Amino acid sequence: MDTNDDLIRMSAVAVRDLLLKEEVTPLDLLDALEARIAEVDGAVNALPTLCFDRARDHARRLMDKPVEERGMLAGMPVPIKDLVDVGGVLNTKGSPIFAEHVPEVSDIMVERLEAEGGVVYAKSNTPEFGAGANTFNEVFGRTLNPWNTSRSAAGSSGGAAVSLATGTAWLAHGSDLGGSLRNPASFCGIVGMRPSPGRVPATPTPPIDQTLGVEGPMARNVEDLALMFDALTGEDPRDPISLHHGGQSFLDAARSGWKPLRVAFSRDLGITPVDSEVADICERAAMRFAEAGVEVVEAHPDFTGVHECFDVLRAATYVAAHKRLYEEHKDKLKPEVVWNIEAGLKLTAGEIAHAQHLRAELFARARAFFGDYDLLLTPATIVSAFPVEQRYLEELNGHRFSNYVEWLAIAYAMTMIASPAISIPAGFTSENLPVGLQIAAPTRGEARLLAGAKVLESILWQEPIVPIDPRPGN
């Protein structure tokens, strides 16, 4: 390649193909990223922890192997969200409690990614313990939205999304409980997908059989995301809910040309206010499916009970995961984390059982709905990027949200029905801020989801919209 900039602006699939042809090396890619990070990351704070020495050591070991033995990614660099252990690399979890924590052993997910030729060179910024859809913490500070650096990058995979948008990553890891892969994708104009539970194996944390939080891929387009998803998926006996890969290629699925016959679009799922400009942008994008011969119908499943269900099960999960930290370090936890844990500690067995019953009903209604519609489309977020100083969205259209996560309902509704869901860029607001369109499929329907998302992406965008240089805002 002539310049680092040429590499930075290429798709991940194209760069991987160059690696397979040995026209570039993993070391070339690391050099390009290190230069780009020095150029732009100071303006956005996406990748606060770098580990280029470790990355180059790994790259050299890969280069000692025949190219056909270097895995699916063949030496592609990947940042890991600062919630997940990478052996020998600082993992703060966005918390002062872990400000100097360096794990010895990597998470199962990182092991799998590296075995497939992924090269870890950085940790991406996240809110404390991933709590909240605005990326800030007391260890590293705020991550800023590159489309307007006065705005939020959302979260909790905000650093990952910003690294993709600014060209300091081709692929990125994220995680999602209430929209943390999809919210920052929407705010930053990139692609993020929440997979079905069990698709991506990871080191279990309490509760070990939970299906709320998942690990997943982020990228600049659907094909790039599918490439990374292929490298992440597969069964691992150390994760009790992990699923067998089945031999399918999700990249092949994305490229298959499969089109849905009939999809549903909903502006609000009947559960949340949505900014009218955002809803209009997403509706126009969804209706363009018709250009591929797809029938688009205004409809959605019945999500009665979704708020109560999510609040209870999320709080119970927080107690299981963080009760010990609450008992020993409450004074170091941010208010939202304390609130979530304390809400969980107050729950009765009856309330948890009722929430599980509600979730079973939600799941059954959604399965029936997907018998009539191949995909469900909605806004990925209910607003575009808000000022970064706001901890969360407190009010919209006269509705005051009851807590710091209720504004994420359009995303966490898909969590409750265990649906894989992707956010792809739908358009821009009058302030030139990106808006994401959420597309969901039935459980374990990622092949269908990626194929459909690729069809619509091809209609909406003839040219890539990222990477960009950070744009100062007021």
pTM of the model as a whole: 0.98
> What confidence tens digit (pLDDT) does each residue in 415-472 have?
999 999 999 999 999 999 999 999 999 999 999 999 999 999 999 999 999 999 999 9
Asked if pLDDT for residue 173 goes beyond 50, the answer is yes
Beta strand 141-142 pairing with 136-137: antiparallel
- Report DSSP state, residue 219: E
> What percentage of the chain carries pLDDT values higher than 90?
97
The pLDDT assigned to 105 comes to 98
Asked if pLDDT for residue 1 goes beyond 70, the answer is no
Distance of CA 389 to the CA centre of its chain: 22
Phi, psi of 162 (to 5 degrees): -70, -35
Phi, psi of 318 (to 5 degrees): -65, -35
Q: Domain residues of the chain, as ranges?
A: 4-460
Exposed / middle / buried, residue 232 (Cβ in 10 Å: 0-12, 13-18, 19+): buried
Asked if pLDDT for residue 72 goes beyond 90, the answer is yes
Do 30 and 54 meet the contact criterion of CB atoms below 8 Å apart? no
Residues assigned a catalytic role: 81, 156, 180
> Within 10 Å of residue 357's Cβ, how many Cβ atoms?
12
The pLDDT assigned to 248 comes to 86
Asked if pLDDT for residue 4 goes beyond 90, the answer is no
The pLDDT assigned to 473 comes to 87
CATH of range 4-460; options 3.30.56.10, 1.10.3210.10, 3.90.1300.10, 3.30.420.40: 3.90.1300.10
43: region left, alpha or beta (phi > 0 left; psi from -120 to 50 alpha) = alpha
Between CA 28 and CA 10 the distance in angstroms is: 14
| β-bridge mates for residue 49, sequence order | 123
Contacts 24+ apart (CB under 8 A), 292-295: 292/259, 292/455, 292/456, 292/459, 293/259, 294/259, 294/260, 294/261, 294/262, 294/263, 294/455, 295/261, 295/262, 295/263
Asked if pLDDT for residue 2 goes beyond 60, the answer is no
> What confidence tens digit (pLDDT) does each residue in 323-354 have?
999 999 999 999 999 999 999 999 999 999 99
Q: In whole angstroms, how far apart are CA 423 and each of 47, 102, 257?
A: 22, 32, 19
> What confidence tens digit (pLDDT) does each residue in 179-225 have?
999 999 999 999 999 999 999 999 999 999 989 999 999 999 999 99
Q: How do the residues of the chain divide into helix, strand and coil, expressed in percent and rounded to 5?
A: 40, 15, 45
The pLDDT assigned to 240 comes to 96
The pLDDT assigned to 246 comes to 83
